[in-house]
Amino acid sequence: MEMQPELCRVEDALGVLVGKWKPIILLTLLQEGTKRFSDLKRSVPGITQKMLTKQLRELEEEDIISRKVYPQVPPKVEYSITEYGKGLEPILVAMHEWGTAHTMRKMEKMRVQN
């Protein structure tokens, strides 16, 4: 597929993925499957309940994840990756691998300088 810079859609893709917590949420759901809200919160250390709710809503609006509410007391809500969202897995894995290599490169560069 020939890419034409003037028709670049990278910004569109980043608009869906950008957020401190979104990649972690997505990788968690991809690797561990369906999660309840409380379990997901435990899987993402440091995230607040408010921020997790916000990030989940944004991903749900983009059809990347699905939210299932069970009619019971107390309420039970589960989140899972959609078939459409599973298409992000190779992108997230590639970004993770590149980020790891980049971090190691920076660390090596700092070691050499010291």
| Segment 43-102, tens digit of pLDDT | 998 999 999 999 999 999 999 999 999 999 888 999 999 999 999 999 999 999 999 999
Residue 101's domain comprises 10-113
CATH code for the domain in which residue 67 is found: 1.10.10.10
Contacts of 37 (CB under 8 A, 6+ apart): 52, 56, 77, 78, 79
Question: Residue 5: inside a domain, yes or no?
Answer: no
What element of type H or E holds 69?
strand 65-70
Tell whether the model's pLDDT for residue 1 goes beyond 80: no
pLDDT tens digits for range 17-49: 888 899 999 999 999 999 999 999 999 989 999
Specify the higher pLDDT residue, 81 or 13: 81
Question: Residue 3: inside a domain, yes or no?
Answer: no
User: What is the total count of domains within the chain?
Assistant: 1
Question: Residue 107: inside a domain, yes or no?
Answer: yes
